Chains A and B, each alone.
Chain A
Amino acid sequence: MKPSFILPVLFLFLVGCNGMSDPNEQFMVSSIGFMRTGAKVSAFVQSVDVKGGEQNGIPETFVVKGEGDSIENAVKNTRSKLSKKLSLKHTELILISDTLEKDDLEEILSMSEDFDVSLRAKIASCNDIEKLLKNDSASSGLGLISVIEQNAVSAGFGGHTALFEIKTAFLLGEEFAVTYFSSGEEIGIEGLYYYKNGIPTDILNFEESIRYSKEKNLYKGE
């Protein structure tokens, strides 16, 4: 082989483009949620059931839970239950419970970088993440996102919902608020969860959420 051909091939190895993985070898995570109960952290991974059926053309989903003493270990335990690579490249929603601490949030943000989570992924808060994700079984996380977007249109308020917004707020040490889902049987939004210095501080009702949104120029209503 001529040297002119060897050089590009060598370069190809050096660029590190060697992460080949077939789509069916990956576990495509549509939503991921984290909850802390005392010293334990639970990770909930929601994925499309590729072998399952469909409801009204929307593929069914299932939720897997993993536990550990940190976010990283909880995610690792989830992976071990699935026997497949976790792919968070198409994760649309990251759910955080109000029990998570500032360090946990920082770990989640750093994990999102490791897993190449899109910076446009939405972040929302909820009390009972497992229940919320299971109720969303027929809509693969995209249902929860459409609820957030519909709320922004109908009620008018919207929090700092994108991952890059939260990262920026953390970097600058600013306050932020994320959409807060109710824990009932019906999926709905209670308002915004207000975080100060990375610590969940207060749940804002609709009026307060609208006021907050207007203050932060996040108001979507008329």
Chain B
Amino acid sequence: MNQDYGRFSAVLEENIKLIEDIFKGDSILRKRKISFCSGYKGCLFYFDGMVNVSMINESVVRPLIMSKDSLRDRPVAEWVGYELLFASEIVLTEKVEDTVNSMLYGDTLLLLEGSSTAITINTKGWRTRGISEPENERVIQGSREGFDEAAMFNLSMIRRRLLTPDFCAELTRIGRRTNTIVFICYLKSLVNRNTLRELKKRLSKINIDSVLDSQYITEHIRDSNSSVFKTIGSTERPDVVAARLLEGRIALVVDTTPVVITLPYLFSENFQSDEDYFINYKLASAGRIMRIFCFFLAISVPAMYVALTTFHFEFLPTAFALTVSVSRSGVPFSTLAECVILTVIFEILRETAIRMPQSVGQALSIVGGLVVGQAAVEAKIVSAPMLIVVALSGICGLMVPRLRSAVFFARFGILFAAGFFGIYGYLYSIVLFLICVLRIKSFGIDATQSLNSPSFQSFKDVFIRTSWKRMIKRPPIQENDIIRKK
């Protein structure tokens, strides 16, 4: 919520009172009056914890106190700012609003007697979590660096990987009250200008009071809010962001969150692992095919089981049909209800295990998965084959974490269709599901481009990951410089 506080006056006491009034009641605002060069007066303002105090002492306080210089024929603010201070970055401004914003982001404000120009000095120095490997994107080979919550720090990690003046990071602020800093990053020669224009348009339309995480922005700028599919990517890894920028995509680095948004997002990215590009391409391709297969198993297995056992029992081999019959005996619920209940229980266990501390989570998995499962089968609350079916579906779903919400909703949708209409219901719902997949758009680009207009080149990083030697073109996201390898 930006306010226009007007401009500073030339009277130091008035300016001090103005700043104190703006931050009235704020206990972490620090003020330090200072006299320098025999007769000049000034006052420093900064927020404790946001600044590097030793930097203030060395770059601001010490040079001012130690200086024996005297004002020559120039304004006092310019003299102090350009000749006395040791700071690497200073900004002279008369607008109160600018200085307030800078202070809030870790700068120090220096007000001077007889000057209506204030000096903001870059003394940012808050503590960060530091570089650590992202929990959700662990790799065996490859970089271990992960983003932390400081946007500047994150930008430095991206820039270290893209040592080119082509890299551009535009600053914008979103959130009426939080004024969250967001950097729009892209490579100038590769970015799709239409996508960039569209992104800026959507960002400018965001009118929310706070942005505390990148998800706030994601939900505002995505193509369809009702879609269960991801249409905007996210990562905590700088190497992934760099790779996506090199494909002509755009990244949004949001301050206070380690999750960086990337867009446009292709459907095939759901099956890609960060590690695919660091290991042997044949192994990576096998892993990718397995992930696609597991995705279909995750949404299909419970539905197929329910359809076959309740509508098309004759399709099952006799020995298996006998096993199902025997194990179903005494179970009080219908097959469909049993499947729904078990799937919900699985989701509860999974959700609980994620939220728990790691040691408790593991114990919970064992108790939930083995002990309760075994007891439930023995107590004839559920049947053993159903337990296997739901567990298989659940485990397969974990193979594609980026499609978590799609798997969750599709699994239930297809299950109910199969439960009420048998194999026809299953097939219809799968066809509907595929239609929905083919209709996904991300910033005006078909997320399933390689399927809609198939070509050998476009498949090279979709179902499989070919060797870098053969990956000649970039994904068809941008129009410029499509050739990756010459």
Contacts and interface: CB of A to CB of B under 8 A. Distances in A.
A17 B417 CA distance: 11
A116 B314 contact: yes
Interface residues of A, number: 27
A217 B420 CA distance: 47
A118 interface: yes
B309 interface: yes
B424 A89 contact: no
Greatest chain B CB density within 10 A among A12, A18, A140 is at: A12
Given A17-B311, A20-B311, A22-B310, A12 B421 contact: yes
Interface in A29-88: 48, 50-51, 59, 87
Contacts of B425: 12, 17
B313 A26 contact: yes
Greatest chain B CB density within 10 A among A22, A90, A142 is at: A22
B428 A23 contact: no
A116 B313 CA distance: 11
A23 B335 contact: yes
A198 to B, nearest CB: 27
Given A20-B420, A23-B309, A51-B330, A28 B428 contact: no
A143 to B, nearest CB: 13
Contact of B424 (A15, A26, A28): A15
A22 B423 contact: no
Contacts of B422: 17, 19-20
Interface in B407-447: 419-425, 428, 432
SS class of chain B's interface: helix, strand, loop or mixed? helix
Interface string A90-118: 10100000000000000000000000101
B328 interface: yes
Greatest chain A CB density within 10 A among B314, B318, B324, B328 is at: B318
A179 B331 CA distance: 39
B334 interface: yes
Interface residues of B, number: 27
A28 B420 CA distance: 22
B84 interface: no
Interface string B305-319: 000011101101010
A8 interface: yes
Contacts of B335: 22-23
A140 B311 contact: no
A140 B309 contact: no
Given A17-B422, A92-B318, A59 B311 contact: no
B43 interface: no
Contacts of A20: 310-311, 419-420, 422
B436 to A, nearest CB: 11
A24 interface: yes
B321 interface: yes
B322 interface: yes
Given A22-B328, A22-B334, A50-B329, A17 B321 contact: no
Given A50-B326, A90-B322, 5 more contacts: A11-B428, A12-B425, A20-B420, A21-B311, A140-B322
Interface of B: 309-311, 313-314, 316, 318, 321-322, 324-326, 328-331, 334-335, 419-425, 428, 432
24 contacts: A5-B432, A8-B428, A8-B432, A12-B421, A17-B311, A17-B421, A17-B422, A19-B422, A20-B310, A20-B419, A20-B420, A20-B422, A21-B310, A21-B313, A22-B309, A22-B328, A23-B313, A24-B330, A48-B322, A50-B325, A50-B328, A89-B321, A90-B313, A90-B321
